[in-house]
Amino acid sequence: MTINLTERQQRIIEIVKDNDPITSKEIAKQLNLSRGALRSDLSVLTMANILEAKPRVGYFYSRDNSYLRDFDELYGQKIKEIKSAAVVVKEEASVYDTIVTLFLKDIGSLFIIDQQESLIGVVSRKDLLKITIGEGDIKKMPVSVIMTRMPNIITVKDEDTILEAAKLIVKYKIDSLPVVKIEEGSAESDQQIYRVIGRVTKTNIARVFVDFGLKI
Ligand code: ADP
């Protein structure tokens, strides 16, 4: 409820911050307004807990800032709380079968895994569209030929925050991020395994945003 402050309300906050405790009469004087003209702004700001009114003393700037905690709660939410299930495809799957999986699972991107079930690539709708307008036989061509591959895959972990995920999606202009858990490989290979344990998409983030809007 504190998001859309008017210019005048912001000005009032500044005045109270610098001069508190301050009466409404003094605030009105600084703004060249009547006290009556300020009444609704002051009640908005006190209801939003930005200002506190003490009878016979005046207005204080609320150092409590509980409204800001709501934003921490929003941006600080962990990936594990908002992720969806990932759909993975084996590297030897054909482009054709991958497209079928995309439709069956009603999903925009698929993650590609190797024999050890470690993440090795991502394939998006446009990657698949692009190859279908070429000459190749998509029933014979393995998806690994067209995927975006490691080490260029942008990933997140369960404990990362929604803000970190949203920043990556914006920075790299992509729709989804695999959520991975890094495990040590077998003694022989000593290669780390990027186990896919979910995905975060623009939709997940939009949903959190909408839920937050409904809550306040
Ligand atoms: P689309 O290509 O359908 O618009 P994206 O915007 O998600 O979907 O993908 C854009 C490009 O980025 C594609 O080539 C895709 O393979 C690649 N890509 C998608 N997700 C990732 C990711 N998490 N890390 C690295 N590359 C990605």
pLDDT digits over 105-161, tens only? 999 999 999 999 999 999 999 999 999 998 889 999 999 999 999 999 999 999 999
Q: What integer pLDDT is reported at residue 2 of this predicted model?
A: 46
What H or E segment, with its residue span, contains residue 113?
strand 109-113
What spacing in Å lies between the alpha carbon of 212 and ligand 1's midpoint? 27
Task: Confirm if 111 and 178 have CB atoms less than 8 A apart.
Answer: yes
Q: Is 102 in the pocket of ligand 1 (CB under 6 A)?
A: no
Contacts of 74 by beta carbon, 8 Å cutoff, 6+ apart: 162, 208, 209, 212
Show pLDDT as tens, one digit a residue, over the chain (216 residues): 445 789 999 999 999 999 989 999 999 999 999 999 999 999 999 988 889 999 889 999 987 666 666 777 888 999 999 999 999 999 999 999 999 999 999 999 999 999 999 999 999 999 999 999 988 899 999 999 999 999 999 999 999 999 999 999 999 999 999 999 999 877 777 789 999 999 999 999 999 988 887 765
Q: What integer pLDDT is reported at residue 214 of this predicted model?
A: 72
Residue 1 and residue 43: Cα distance in Å, rounded?
A: 13
Contacts of 113 by beta carbon, 8 Å cutoff, 6+ apart: 88, 89, 90, 91, 119, 120, 196
Contacts of 127 by beta carbon, 8 Å cutoff, 6+ apart: 146, 147, 148
pTM comes to 0.73
CB atoms within 10 A of CB 16: 23
Q: Is 109 in the pocket of ligand 1 (CB under 6 A)?
A: yes
Q: What integer pLDDT is reported at residue 1 of this predicted model?
A: 46
Task: Please spell the DSSP secondary structure of 133-184, one letter per residue.
Answer: TSSS-TTTSBGGGTSEETTS---B-TTSBHHHHHHHHHHHT-SEEEEEEEE-
What spacing in Å lies between the alpha carbon of 128 and ligand 1's midpoint? 11
Locus of tokens 């990657």: 127
Of 34, 35, 28, 36, nearest to 11 by C-alpha is: 28
Q: Which among 107, 110, 123, 126 is the best mutation to test ligand 1's pocket, defined by most ligand atoms within 8 Å of the CB? A: 126
**Backbone angles phi and psi of 118, in degrees to 5:** -100, 140
Residue 188 and residue 145: Cα distance in Å, rounded?
A: 27
Q: What integer pLDDT is reported at residue 134 of this predicted model?
A: 87
What spacing in Å lies between the alpha carbon of 155 and ligand 1's midpoint? 12
Q: What integer pLDDT is reported at residue 87 of this predicted model?
A: 96
For residue 100, what are the β-bridge partners?
none
